[in-house]
Structure 1
């Protein structure tokens, strides 16, 4: 059974993808951004990053959001992918996987437009096929799973599940127990709570687990 750790400021990430949503402000997200070994920016995100001391290793996207100044400044690390079948976040994650990077943390993928936020969160179920990926926001962490999994937690931590498939779900160590339930809408398994330092989810389909900071 795979176990998912709980992010904290002492843990570094090998690879970070910075999306063009709200720039991170939570100490955990900022620490991960500052200490990552390899940073890929979706093209619009570089406009926010240039206000910091952090330098990207690559900029990936269709490049429609790059300023003229940044096009010139970062010309040697820009990877332009003009196709419109995928969004810039997917282009950036795919780039990382093609570089052999399998441990990826996504930052800045929520906020601003709600349709982008929903789409980016749901895409975790696509990305998990090729890498170990987590999405960290200013409020918590999202992980996508498709098999039985254990999650590091703290007592009373808020937990929500979002079922992408109509799968059978059972929980252990959650305040509101789930026993062989099939959920048919995203809201139905939200707003639960951890009762211990870890909890388990058993599933035969895809779902997204959220743990609040």
Structure 2
């Protein structure tokens, strides 16, 4: 998949919907380190793999997993942040430069929105993407060209200060368009093997759907 952003071997597995699409499953099974957010550890073990570390307040982890993997637990009871952020802070403390997040979506919608929006915070510190069972969420902090493929479905979300965006190679072009509402940049389509987004201010999250 030549449009894939990068192939980090450090994976954070959140306690949302477990990967079932071929892409996130491949990322998971080829990971060198899997940092599980709390109860995701039980799901990973049931899948047949083992967590490298388990991070969080550990209130959703089974007693058996707590016992069997006690030396891999990183307890963090901070209530001012969520388990995904705790896991990101942990991998940063270990010197990671890039990370792929799996399982951040698919359960409570408020958790999903929160997890996706946090990508913009993480992107200031390391290369990061979040992969669901339908596509990839990528934080975009500056103008750039993004690899894609013809007819790939693309959605663009502007968070914080609305960005005036000009696009190239999208079916529905943006011409200094301000995305003042989240729906406005959704359901676009790439016309080739890449598309570009130009903007002077603001922060974007781009969703790129898998081909099937």
TM-score by length of 1: 0.94
Q: How does 1:63-212 map to 2 (within 5 A)?
A: 63-165=58-160, 166-203=162-199, 204-212=201-209
Q: Secondary structure of the equivalent of 1:50?
A: helix
Runs of 4+ deviating beyond 6 Å: none
Q: Secondary structure of the equivalent of 2:50?
A: coil
2:43 to 25, 30, 48: 48
Contact 1:12–1:35 at 8 Å: present in 2 too?
no
Q: 1:55 offset after TM fit, Å?
A: 1.4
Contact 1:13–1:35 at 8 Å: present in 2 too?
no
**Matched residue pairs, number?**
207
Q: Secondary structure of the equivalent of 2:111?
A: helix
Q: 1:53 offset after TM fit, Å?
A: 2.5
CA distance, structure 2, for counterparts of residue 32 and residue 60 of structure 1: 20
CA distance, structure 2, for counterparts of residue 53 and residue 45 of structure 1: 13
Contact 1:162–1:207 at 8 Å: present in 2 too?
yes
Q: Secondary structure of the equivalent of 1:126?
A: helix
CA distance, structure 1, for counterparts of residue 82 and residue 146 of structure 2: 29
Contact 1:60–1:81 at 8 Å: present in 2 too?
yes
Q: Secondary structure of the equivalent of 2:206?
A: strand
Contact 1:12–1:36 at 8 Å: present in 2 too?
no
Supply the RMSD in Å over aligned alpha carbons: 1.3
Q: 1:7 offset after TM fit, Å?
A: 2.9
Q: 1:12 offset after TM fit, Å?
A: 4.1
Structure 2 gaps, min length 5: none
Specify the alignment match of 2:34 in structure 1: 39
